Copies of this chain bind each other. A is one copy, B any other.
C-alpha cells in the first residue's frame, strides 16, 4: 500500500551506487567510475557521461556537498553526502531491496529472507 507505483522501472541504479560509495568516504567523479568498476569486478562500468550528470543533479538537489581540492597539480571536485543525501540513499536502497526480493521470488530463489 505504502508503495504508490513502480519506480520507472529499475532506474537510478547508477545513482544508488554513487550514493553508496560516497557513504564510506568522499570521492571525486573520475574516482567513482573506477571504484564502481573495480568493486564490481568490471561487471558494472559507469561511463563518465553517466556519472557527472548524476553528481550535478544530486548537488543541485542538496544531496551532495562539494569541495574543490588540488592534488599533484590536478584539480579535483570531492563530493560528500549531506543529511539529505543519506536519506536519499536509504530510500533508494530500500526500494532496490524490495524490488529485487520480489523478482527473486518470481525467479524461484529464496532471496535469503
Contact = CB atoms under 8 A, between A and B. Distances in A.
B43 A102 contact: yes
A71 interface: no
Interface residues of A, number: 33
A16 B105 CA distance: 13
Contacts of A16: 103, 107
A100 B100 contact: yes
A103 B96 CA distance: 10
Interface in A1-30: 1, 3, 5-6, 9-11, 13-14, 16-17, 20-21
Interface of A: 1, 3, 5-6, 9-11, 13-14, 16-17, 20-21, 36, 39-45, 93, 96, 98-100, 102-103, 105-108, 112
